[in-house]
Structure formats: structure tokens, C-alpha cells
Chains A and B, each alone.
Chain A
């Protein structure tokens, strides 16, 4: 701190911050806050604070996350795609997540609520989330992770013809997994003494993931929904099989919507086994129908059982599972 007090010609009132430009003290504070981040992170933060251009934000956010990741896991972040998971892949626990949030809040001058954080599972989620915050856009629907029970409950397709074990759905696409068990009924004849997953069934599995996306991820007008009984296959383009898939293989499926215009939705899709390409579909098109959302029955309040309860308690957001042992 400089000890010399600069006399101000207009009295000693501080010049009030009217959207104060980014000054040298701000830069010094930013440098201090980001002292353990890469120089490029600092540079991106300075650029963002000077210009307000949201294009600089992803570099800042990734730089901050990188600073909190254990050294041996940092390489993962470098080669990462947006599907990299914060907890499972990067070992970031909820307390570290809070440290990341506080630092991001500090350097980007924004406020993040606890309940907004709960849905951030992947690097992509974080990037999209911060981007929406900064541009003032509505937040995207969070990525939903659907176990087999949930998939079975919403899908019109059921075993033994359901080829998804688990899936995650966001507004931008869906990912799923299916393990070829060897017990699939059609493998008895496809082929004789040589069970191979039919390419047509793999295409079917991608189609099923697209159905799941329509039911769980596709944006629909409020009060409306896509009817599970009105989704059908219409066509596909550019389908190529690259690899023979056999019992024991785990198929990693992904689809992304390319176009959606009532009543048609077109997706691109891919299946991998590990790092190996198995099937590519340039276009899979489904037809769908929209219906009114059934009015959910209003649950009867337990007013009789709890007369002493406050008359109207608003929804309570459970706290983040951070300092739960407090």
C-alpha cells in the first residue's frame, strides 16, 4: 500500500464508482486472486473485466477449476471434452466446488446460488451455466442422469427390446450406455454359434436414445409435452458400421439434435466401444406429436396431522451437501 496520500483537487471525496473502469488496483487484486492459476487464466480474466466479452469466460472458468485439481489429474482437464465430470473424473468434492465458486464469483463479479450449483456435473455444464449467467440468458435445463428404472418408466419401448442401461439427458443431447449381455434373444440366431450384435439393433438403440431425449430433454412449450405413444421412426441417412460388437462389449451411445420442427426431429448419432468407433448415423429422423400435459393432482396437504405447522412455508432449498458434518 502506498503511504503517500494523493491530495485530490476536488476535495477528499472518493471518486464514486459509476461502473468504474477496470483500474490498476483491480488488476492487482485480480492478479492476487489468480496467483495460483495459469498466466492465460489471468489474461482471460483481465480481458473479460476490461471488455465484458463473454468469449473470455470459458478460459477463466477452466483455469480456476484446473487450479483446484490435484496435479496428477490435471492432464485430464487439458485433453478434456465437455463431458468430463467434476466429481467422478476430477476428484472435486463439494467443498472444493465451493472454493471454485467463490473464486469465480470473485473474479467475474457475479453471484451464484447454492441451488444453481447442484446441477453442475460436468465441465460443459459449468461452461454453459456461467455463460448463461453472464449473458443474462435463462439457465439451461440441467443434465439429468437416468438410471434404468427411470428409463423403463418413461419409455414406450420395454424389455426385451430396450437397449439402454443408463443415460444422461440435457437440453443439447443425450448419452447412454448399453452392455451386450449375450442373453439377448436374437443373438441365438445372429449368427449361428457366433453371437454378433446386429447393426440394425445398434441403430435401434440410437433411436431409443433419441426417443428418450424427446421425452426428457427436448424443449417444449409450457403446459405441453411430447407424447410417448406418438414417436415413430421415419428414416435414416449415412449409417455406417465400423466394428463388430459382441457380448461383453459396452456400447457408449450419443445423440445430438440437428433439427426439430413439428412433427419431425432429426439427430446425429454415434456408438463407440471404448475409444473405437462402432456405428455412425449422420441422420436419424423421428416423428413426434405434442399433447397437453396432464394436470398433476394437487397433493393433499397434511393439514390435519400438523396443525401447529406454519400456515404457508415456502419451498425450502436444501443446503448444498457441503458442510454437512457441521
Chain B
């Protein structure tokens, strides 16, 4: 079966807008949280967001937006984008440069693109409001493509003239992990030679605040304490936005182009909880089966895994479900992998999370460290039996498990190996 490698990365995240900054912040465990100005009102109970810096996208008029000067983008391009479309486009340009792809490699029948985001509630609201106020025929002609779920794949597939497979995934916080999994399949089945995986989220009020109704957001007012997966005092997740892009390529393409990949994607697995629309299974049943499926598909024994980049978002129930799944898969105290959640630094990127954190994991492999889990002052006693990394380790992991879980009880596990 053809092997699949990750050869390029691009990041617009709360902890950095390029791979070098992201790597430095991951290693130093510097978070990207701020008191988010739109939340500093009495009627908004949560205050902290993992903010994207260097961009202004708080206007429904794309021509008001600003972005770092290194990107030169035309009106014609951005007029159909959501804020996260802009983030992802910039991340895409980074990933293309990082993978050293030529134009002919990008716009090629054997190159595809899978993307996921939650759409843009902010722009959707704006356009619907305009329709109601001014009439149906005054809707912006690009209102739909800039705001509905799928906006990322519409925009990027067109902008980069993608000729192969394209589409999106909508398993919420497991979306981009699903995208990576199915892209892996496309390459191993010989359907494509190269796939772009793109995750994005607006990370603004309209994207994050609806989660307050579910009581899943942290109400912490201290940016240094808000996101603390596995801590006994955790009280919910902190929202974030941004864009992340991975380039997946077949072994033949890696050899033909003579590039050094970050890591090999060994395989993946998925399983569903069959339990609840929004609450994860208390024993992490789906997550456990997803991990076992990934191990089996990849031919990897549990004791080979030395690092788990956890899904753990810092919610009360979710973190424990995952801990129980990990305990079930890695029972031996002797060969337990180190576990950390990089959401402790970035916040929870929802649809973006899977791609962003897979990117973090392979970046850490190349840069030679293992990311720690920040902001733990007292480990939740429920987390016993899991080897939590509370500091950055100075050596890279060899075999990494990346977990992702989404609404409806969707669970995806990816296995990566250092090259």
C-alpha cells in the first residue's frame, strides 16, 4: 500500500502566524489568550479567547479587513471569503511554500483539497439580516459562498485552481481529522497523489458565544487560567479561530520531488459513541474503539506510541471520557505514552482543531521536542493512570497518536511517525 507523508504546514493561529513562531511558542508553552474586547460586557459571561493577531476581520465588508503585509490579496479574491477563509488562504500560501510545491503540482488532476469549518455564523447573520431588512433581491451575490459551511472549500478550490477531489467535512470538532483520514484513503487507494487539508474557524463572537448556552465555555477571567485540560479546576473550553493547512503526499511524489517530509501518516481509525448528540460517552467508548482501529489499520502496537496529542478541550466531561479511553488502550504502566493537550495554549479551534493539532504534532517531531500540557496546577484525580506531560520534553516523539472528537459522538484517531 502506498505510504503517505506530511510535507507542508501552514498556520494562522492564536500562538503564531507561521510555523517558526508556533514552534517557539509550543516549546516555551506560551499561550495565545487575551481578554477579547467584544466579550468585555456585563451580559457576556465568558471573557477569554485565543485571538488571532495581525488580522482585522470584525467587519462584514471584506474591504475593511486588514492582514499582515506579507500577503497580497485582491478584492476579487477576498470578497467571497469568511474571516476564516482569509486565515486559511494565508495558511495555504505558507503550506505551499513550505512543501515547495510548483504551480503545476497544485493545479493538477492528482491533487485535491478537503476542508472543514463551522461556516461563518457572523456573515450568515449579516446577510440574512440584510435580506430581511432590504429585501431578497438586495442580498449580496456572494453572501452564500462566503458564509455557509463549505465556504472554505469553495473559495480555496477556486483560488488555487484545484482539479482533483474537493469537498468538506462536518463532524464538528472531528471534521479536519476526518478530512485527514479520508485524504489518506484517497492517496492509498491511488485516487490522488497529493491532498491539501484545510481547517478554519472565525473565532469571533458569533462563532464562540453560542457555546455558552451549552455551558461548555470557560468563565475564567484570567487568560493564564482559562484553558487547563486535565486540571481539577477546569471549567470549560476557550474558543479560538484561525486557519491551518497540511500537505499530504504519496511516497512516490515525495521521492519525485525530493522533499523531506515532516512525518509519515501511518493510518487512521474512527468510531462513534452511539450515545448523545453533544455529550461524549462517559467511558470514552467511541474514542477507545477509534484508537484501536487506528492502531490496527497502521500495524502499530500500543506500546510503540510515545506521545498522544489529546483532544481534551478542558471541559468537565470530555476530558475524562478521553482519559478513560486512553487508560483502556494503554493499560501498562511501563509503556504509557506521554499525553498533553495543546488546547491549553491555543484554546479549542472546533473544526480547525484536528488539522491544527496534527500540524503541531508533526512540527514538534521536526523541531525536536514534545509539547506539554499547560496550566495544570492540580491534576484531576480522575486522570490517574495517564502519563500527563506537564512540561515540554526536550526530545521528539517517534510515534504519535492524535485524537479528535466531535458532536454526535464522532471520534477519529490518527497515527503519525517521525521521519
| Chain B residues with CB below 8 A from A102, complex form | 137-138, 140-141
Main secondary structure of the interface of B (DSSP, over half): helix
Is the pair A99, B74 in contact by a Cβ cutoff of 8 Å?
no
Judged by a CB distance under 8 angstroms, whether B232 is at the interface is no
A326–B145 CA distance with the chains assembled, in angstroms: 8
Judged by a CB distance under 8 angstroms, whether B93 is at the interface is no
What is the minimal beta-carbon distance from B64 to any residue of chain A, in angstroms? Answer: 10
A99–B79 CA distance with the chains assembled, in angstroms: 10
A107–B197 CA distance with the chains assembled, in angstroms: 42
Contact of B144 among A36, A111, A323 (CB under 8 A): A323
A150–B158 CA distance with the chains assembled, in angstroms: 36
Interface size range on B against A = 10 to 19
Interface size range on A against B = 10 to 19
Residues 131-157 of chain A, each 1 if its beta carbon lies under 8 Å from chain B, else 0: 000000000000000000000000000
Residues 91-112 of chain A, each 1 if its beta carbon lies under 8 Å from chain B, else 0: 0000110110010011000010
| Chain B residues with CB below 8 A from A95, complex form | 141-142
What is the minimal beta-carbon distance from A110 to any residue of chain B, in angstroms? Answer: 12
| Chain A residues with CB below 8 A from B75, complex form | 70
Is the pair B74, A323 in contact by a Cβ cutoff of 8 Å?
no
| Chain A residues with CB below 8 A from B142, complex form | 95, 99
What is the minimal beta-carbon distance from B151 to any residue of chain A, in angstroms? Answer: 13
A36–B63 CA distance with the chains assembled, in angstroms: 9
What is the minimal beta-carbon distance from B403 to any residue of chain A, in angstroms? Answer: 36
What is the minimal beta-carbon distance from A111 to any residue of chain B, in angstroms? Answer: 7
What is the minimal beta-carbon distance from B126 to any residue of chain A, in angstroms? Answer: 14
Closest to A114 in B: B137
| Chain A residues with CB below 8 A from B74, complex form | 70
| Chain A residues with CB below 8 A from B141, complex form | 95, 98-99, 102, 322-323
Is the pair B144, A326 in contact by a Cβ cutoff of 8 Å?
yes
A102–B142 CA distance with the chains assembled, in angstroms: 12
Judged by a CB distance under 8 angstroms, whether B76 is at the interface is yes
* Interface core residue of B74, B134, B137, B141 (most chain A CB under 10 Å): B141
Which 4 interchain pairs have the tightest Cβ spacing?
Answer: A98-B141, A95-B141, A102-B138, A322-B141
18 A–B contact pairs at CB < 8 A?
A: A36-B63, A70-B75, A70-B76, A95-B141, A95-B142, A96-B76, A98-B141, A99-B79, A99-B141, A99-B142, A102-B137, A102-B138, A102-B140, A102-B141, A105-B138, A106-B138, A323-B141, A323-B145
